Copies of this chain bind each other. A is one copy, B any other.
C-alpha cells in the first residue's frame, strides 16, 4: 500500500473538463497492495489483442471504465521527453466521428467523472458513470483508440497548457524540482531518469507530427488493457467489449519494451537544491532497488515489508527514533515504489526540527538504517507489518476505482492478474531473513542519491552553491 504512505510519489490526476494531468513519477498511484481474497475477476482477450479485466462490484449501479496503454514516458525517444504525456492531453481533441469536446461533454452531461494520467510505464484514461452509460463510454473510448484527428489549431494551444502545467507542477514546486533532480541523478542510463512531464526545453518543441507518430506506434488494441469495475458481469462486458472495442483493428505490432538498464551502482551521490520558496527544509534519499516486475522472487515483497517497518507511519522505526525519541525531526519516513517495469526506488526522508541541521538529521536517519542492517528486524515487526499491509489492502479494496487501478497498473507494468491476486499471500510469506537480506543488499549508499532541499538564502559566503 505504498500509495497511502508515500510522500514523494503523489501526483494526483484529478482533472477538470478535458484537462489531463501527469504523474509525478514512475510508480504513480497504483502500488503493490492487492486485494486479499480472490474476487470474481473476469479476464479475457479480444481477437484484436485487447486484454480485458472485469471487477464486479454490485453495491451501487455505477461503473469505472478505464483504458490503459502500455506506453509511458520511459518509452519515448530521447530528446522527445514529455511526448507520452502531451499525447494524453491531445487524446481529448476528438475524432472524425466525435469532434473535440463531445466525449467530455457527454461525461459531464450524465454526471460522470473523467480523468487521464501518464506515468513512466503507462498512460490511462477513465470515466466513472452510472451503469447505463457504460456502453456510450466504451464507444467513445474505442473510437479514440485509433481515430484521433489532430490539427495544429488544437495542438499548439494544448502545448501551452502543458507548459503551464509544467510551471505549476514542477518549476514552481521545490519538492517536485528536487524529485526531478534525484531521479536524474539516480538513473545513469535508464529513461526513468527523465521526468514524465518532460524537460521543459524538449516539451517546447513537441509538435503534431511527433504526437501522431507516437500515437500510431503505441495506441492499438493489442497494446491496451481495458479495466471495468462496477455493477457489471463479465459476460455482459464481453458482449459490450466485442461490440465496441472488438471492432477496432490492430494497427501496429508492438515490440518488447526493452529499455536501457542501469549499470551496477558504484558511487553514492548527493545533491542540494536551493529554492527561495522552500518553507521547510528536508532531506530525501532514494535507493535504486528492484521493482515487483524486475525483482527475484520474494525480494519485492520483502522490500514492501522493509519500507513499512522502517518508514510507514508513526510507529515506524524512523518516525519513532527521529521524531519521538531524539526530537530531531518534525517528520520522517520511508517508502517503496514497487510497481514499475524496471528498477525502481526505495526512499527515506525527514524534515528537521527548527535548529537542527540537515546533516545532523541525516546522521540520525543513517543510524536507524545502520542499526536495522546490522541487527535485523524482529519477527514481531514483520508479523505486524504483513498483517497491516494485508489489512490495508482489504480496506482499499472497498474502493472500486482503486481496484481498477491496481489491475490496470499491474498489467501495464509487467504484472499479471495472478500476481495481483497472489499479493496478500506473497506478503504473508515474507520472513525476517528475507527482509534482512534485502536491507543489507539494497540499503547500500552506493545505490543511492541523497537530496537536500534548502531555502535559497541571500547571497553570502559561497554565492554559487
Contact = CB atoms under 8 A, between A and B. Distances in A.
B451 A465 contact: no
A188 B260 CA distance: 15
A202 B261 CA distance: 8
Nearest to A451: B267
A181 B265 CA distance: 9
Interface string A236-260: 0000000000000000000000111
A269 B185 CA distance: 8
Contact of A79 (B201, B260, B263, B465): B260
Interface string A252-295: 00000011110100111111110000000000000000000000
Contact of A78 (B180, B181, B191, B201): B191
A425 interface: no
Interface string A447-465: 0000100000000001111
A193 interface: yes
4 shortest interchain CB distances as A-B pairs: A79-B260, A184-B188, A267-B273, A445-B465
A445 B452 CA distance: 14
B273 A266 contact: yes
A7 B200 CA distance: 34
B261 A272 contact: no
A270 B270 contact: yes
Contact of A199 (B189, B199, B201): B189
A1 to B, nearest CB: 27
Contacts of A451: 267
A398 to B, nearest CB: 40
Contacts of A258: 79
A444 interface: yes
B273 A270 contact: no
A262 to B, nearest CB: 8
Given A189-B199, A200-B263, A446-B464, 8 more contacts: A78-B189, A81-B260, A177-B267, A185-B188, A199-B263, A202-B260, A267-B273, A267-B451
Interface residues of A, number: 43
A63 to B, nearest CB: 40
Contacts of A268: 271-272, 465
Contacts of A164: none
A263 B201 contact: yes
A194 B260 CA distance: 11
Contact of A464 (B180, B260, B443, B464): B443
A366 B462 CA distance: 8
Interface string A153-189: 0000000000000000000000001101100110011
A370 interface: yes
Given A268-B272, A451-B267, A194 B189 contact: yes
Interface string A311-345: 00000000000000000000000000000000000
Contacts of A463: 370, 373
B267 A462 contact: no
Contact of A270 (B189, B259, B269): B269
Contacts of A261: 79, 201-202
Nearest to A265: B181
A295 B199 CA distance: 21
Nearest to A200: B263
A431 to B, nearest CB: 22
A430 to B, nearest CB: 22
19 contacts: A78-B191, A79-B259, A81-B260, A177-B267, A180-B266, A181-B188, A184-B189, A185-B188, A185-B269, A189-B199, A201-B263, A202-B261, A267-B271, A269-B270, A269-B271, A270-B270, A373-B463, A445-B462, A446-B465
